[in-house]
Structure 1
């Protein structure tokens, strides 16, 4: 007990009042005990040594509620807990858990937040222990070389109603300095008052760099995020847009402090702001900056001036008011969730742009997005003020209506008349051309408007705009409509079974090509297109390249000569004369001609059969070498990012030379020439416009 330990010492004259105070603060750390003890010491200053024993015996120490059990006494003391670990993981999950760890009994209590920053080994934890909690060691201190504080630790001072945050020191030995710095800046953003502790003869650049970067980060990244969290909490009013107050606690031994330097007429705060301006650093996001200088040559560190300045800032509610602890946790959690992406390689100095800015870069120009991390989750697209450059492999160009652009509107035009997924559709597209449509102005351009002398779209109707290619974003490809080369024709050629078979069968007999093309154009809607017919519908025998395909006028399927040799009228389809039908559709009793159906769908076919035979006769006179025409078509439909066949000498993967035994293929993702063994995989490549599984090389498949 207190009177048992110290009363005898006092009556013997061994201890003075200061010694008693030190011993009492060492053994009895409860605020109630210390307050009563201070009253006792003040009352015995005028009492002589002989009367001390009687005075202590008359002091009612039982009212201090001191327990002899040391364990129960320690349970009443303030303790700290880990709030954020060194990996930026929040260790407190719910507001109730947060309040329980702080040991706040009244849920209506409103508090402020004080955090301390500085280089490692500057005595930050000791400063907090001496400034708060009546000097007891709430935050652990150590005399070892290793840092005793990893992450962010928190404790609650019930007397001052303050949540105190002890942070990991800067310039320490750590594997991820960038992650630690971002963690400290997030803690700084939720604080009302920050103490920057430095024990150096002069203020170093690292202090200005950290505070200047923190001011910029708060204005560009934290301010909007904090306001949003507070708006979501209906019980609280959003705080002022200004950041926390800054107290620079500067301790020297031999050098004068800023306020004691000879010949200096400006205030320390003005000198600090001038130095920030000289270094091209910001500090205007802070509510205020105050300097507390202390020269401790041959004497102990005094924290009296720091306590006084802290008390004034805590009582000042013009900028920052007290708030509920759960709002503090929600704010910290919101910042921690938003700014949690992996930081890529950055310079060793404090480069805040990499900590909080979106890490996505344009694939065409390699310029990064200028927005904060997590903006895509909020529905904001990637944005940058830098113009992009055109890359033919990405074809990153969209076209805008020229008339709407003059009226101040950005309208992406739409290309009509794109080729269908068939060989006949491609030829029809080549013959009739395409149209460009604006949603406001309608059709603004026709590529085949005149027989000759047609102007280009850029000259007449549209404006080209180079756009950025953001990885993983499909909005550009939904908006994009190329007016130049794309992969539509190549997709048509790919759709006709294999390229070599299609080109071989088509180029061997020009008569067959023209005939099939005309046949598909004038065919009734229920007929199967010629390019889809690879075998007889009945006997399943594959068609040779030179074989003739016949259509049954009843069912519209393709048959060989033997399986469709019969003929009879098909009035239900509009055929009143004897026409070709397959064996399955042939009826022993001919159908009645009174059941005539509408012949609109087949009328074009009737009239076109004569025209088709005439065109075939003309085409049979053409003499075009197979290899020349084959190469011409393949080069015409080749996408812009594909390497030309003439430049593909060896496989891009295995380096084997192409030849008769090793045919050439193109990877749909990189466009390089590869052999068959090195391109067996298939997958969609939406970046190139292939939304279905297509051929890709092993290099692109393993990315």
Structure 2
């Protein structure tokens, strides 16, 4: 703090308690509307509207309180000598909507007038979040109440503001301090709070012991008795006035405000542009829709206002990170254990050796290792079972390595159930290109399984079924008995899935057929269980599952063709694979009818020039522009597959 500014603040040409004339150019303007939208474009417009561009440093005063308690009237009298800088009304309804700002050049003070806590607004919780953000950028906060007693609502609001400041605002304000190269972080100390109570019949707080500080101690005791805290505030001060007949005496409040303005030990003035940047940063980081159905005005939940609104699709637990954390590439996180849901397949295996070494490497059961040909590996899978391969440790487990005396993977892997977030690739990848993988390799599958006995053929069939099953189907590995009659399945007995509920049944319990348009089977009648047949349809699916069903159904329809070929190998080659090609196409592939020329060289396609799809970008390319093979794990291709020249040139696995 410069000596010049110190002297300027100390030599304010106003005697305590004496009203003064307002400069004619002081006026207020709407800074933030009720939808949390800033009404100024940048800091230069902010300085121009306030008229404080020449000020080396300012402090910020904001006022809070219930609708009709006279907040705007109070600011006009303690700061602007009674002039109507902030609009006031005699109506009992709120006349201040949003956040209004004005600047007092004599005190070098930016003044923020807020909407009342009981204002008429469509979104109470969004407005509450806005008030807390304004409080966070303030140096002084006046809580104005006109009541005979201090109600619990005030203590709840201030406690919530304190918690939000410490937990959510502090990191953002520190980051802003670093960007602005400030010597003292903006978040080192919270604002000073002045509780201004006006009564008519009731004695003021601490009237029995008028010595200095007794009323402030009673305030702190009230916080303690309610089990609330106000640790974020640099001080909490009580100022009271008893008004038997108007006008209200604001002398003590005016003196308290000016004392905090002159106090440079706890909060130093800063350039007004920093004030705008702080409000802008908080407003950008903490924004988004809030539901008034789940929150109420007097159930203050700061975490609900400022944390991510995403919930785990499997266990419905809320993400604990701050709002808009995905912009900073911070993934969703939640406390506690998740529950397994077969439609999301959210049980993961973690390499135990890497986990004990401090790293979390997820391994996925595969038909073959990365150094094996995928279709030779599929044939090997029929005999040796699935393989678990760690990117660091190599092959760590084969399920049927010795046929007899095999042990479970518990010695090699750690089981963990992961949270599932909407839009995450964790559960979308499995179903994204499953049908295309079946289509690409069905001839190789036929060739592989035709050389082996019936047992391995059934193993391959079950594996293919699970790979491309719709999300709501229960995996074959989990079906040990009929869901209808509870009869245990024998080894050679075939399991049937009800197209309506997705559970596994024996043949007698799933002999009925009907269309199931709710699940995407709206054409010919399909297999359903007796319960769904009588009910006439499936139970109500969740929105998340419904979003995933179309992709899974396309894959399943292709697989049913492939599965029948595994049962009767001799007729498999007669199926026209081109008939199902469009249905098997992954979502990110450009449809064949839209591919008229090579995406790389722009050469038009002719009957003599074959179209190929890059497995990484999904664009249509010619043969000379897609001669390379490369794994694309982000798209679900673990083994080398065809990619275009541009994607091949990118570093690492795509």
Q: TM-score range by the shorter chain?
A: 0.5 to 0.7
Q: Which of 389, 392, 400 pairs up with 2:342?
A: 392
> Are the equivalent residues in 2 in contact too, given 1:99–1:326 (CA < 8 A)?
yes
> Are the equivalent residues in 2 in contact too, given 1:358–1:372 (CA < 8 A)?
yes
DSSP 3-state at the match of 1:243: coil
DSSP 3-state at the match of 2:202: coil
The alpha-carbon deviation at position 244 of structure 1 amounts to 0.4
Match of 1:6 in 2: none
Question: Distance between the aligned counterparts of 1:391 and 1:655, measured in 2?
Answer: 18
> Are the equivalent residues in 2 in contact too, given 1:362–1:468 (CA < 8 A)?
yes
* Residue 100 of structure 1 pairs with residue 31 of structure 2: no
Match of 2:331 in 1: 381
**TM-score normalised by L of structure 1:** 0.62
Match of 2:545 in 1: none
Match of 1:652 in 2: 516
Match of 1:341 in 2: 288
* Residue 452 of structure 1 pairs with residue 404 of structure 2: yes
Q: Which runs of 5+ in 2 are unaligned?
A: 1-12, 475-494, 500-512, 529-547, 559-579, 589-632, 637-654
Q: Which runs of 5+ in 1 are unaligned?
A: 1-34, 42-72, 481-485, 507-512, 520-614, 693-703
CA 1:490–1:447 in 2, change beyond 3 Å: closer, same or farther?
farther
Match of 2:575 in 1: none
The alpha-carbon deviation at position 110 of structure 1 amounts to 0.7
Question: Distance between the aligned counterparts of 1:211 and 1:685, measured in 2?
Answer: 50
DSSP 3-state at the match of 1:82: strand
The alpha-carbon deviation at position 637 of structure 1 amounts to 2.9
* Residue 254 of structure 1 pairs with residue 189 of structure 2: no
DSSP 3-state at the match of 1:337: helix
Larger Rg: 1
Following superposition of structure 1 onto structure 2, how do residues 382-461 of structure 1 map, counting pairs within 5 Å?
A: 382-413=332-363, 418=368, 426-458=378-410, 460-461=411-412
CA 1:208–1:683 in 2, change beyond 3 Å: closer, same or farther?
farther
> Are the equivalent residues in 2 in contact too, given 1:685–1:691 (CA < 8 A)?
no
Cα offsets for 1:480-518 (capped at 9, x unmatched)? 9xxxxx999876545467xxxx89xx9xxxxxx6xx438
DSSP 3-state at the match of 1:471: coil
CA 1:414–1:176 in 2, change beyond 3 Å: closer, same or farther?
closer
* Residue 517 of structure 1 pairs with residue 448 of structure 2: yes
**TM-score normalised by L of structure 2:** 0.67
DSSP 3-state at the match of 1:651: strand
* Residue 321 of structure 1 pairs with residue 321 of structure 2: no
The alpha-carbon deviation at position 164 of structure 1 amounts to 0.6
Cα offsets for 1:235-291 (capped at 9, x unmatched)? 664235221000000000000111214799982222212222222222111110000
Question: Distance between the aligned counterparts of 1:457 and 1:362, measured in 2?
Answer: 27
The alpha-carbon deviation at position 123 of structure 1 amounts to 0.5
Match of 1:468 in 2: 419
Q: Which of 107, 118, 137 pairs up with 1:190?
A: 137
The alpha-carbon deviation at position 94 of structure 1 amounts to 1.6
Match of 1:638 in 2: 465
Q: Which deviates the most, 432-441 or 332-341?
A: 432-441
Question: Distance between the aligned counterparts of 1:651 and 1:353, measured in 2?
Answer: 46
> Are the equivalent residues in 1 in contact too, given 2:433–2:585 (CA < 8 A)?
no
Could you say which structure has the greater relative contact order, defined with CA pairs below 8 angstroms and 6 or more residues apart?
2
Question: Distance between the aligned counterparts of 2:250 and 2:95, measured in 1?
Answer: 22
Question: Distance between the aligned counterparts of 2:360 and 2:96, measured in 1?
Answer: 55
Match of 1:217 in 2: 164
> Are the equivalent residues in 2 in contact too, given 1:102–1:155 (CA < 8 A)?
yes
Cα offsets for 1:355-396 (capped at 9, x unmatched)? 111111111111111111022212222122211111111111
Match of 1:232 in 2: 179
> Are the equivalent residues in 2 in contact too, given 1:490–1:637 (CA < 8 A)?
no
Question: Distance between the aligned counterparts of 2:238 and 2:449, measured in 1?
Answer: 90
* Residue 354 of structure 1 pairs with residue 205 of structure 2: no
* Residue 200 of structure 1 pairs with residue 147 of structure 2: yes
* Residue 168 of structure 1 pairs with residue 32 of structure 2: no
DSSP 3-state at the match of 2:378: helix
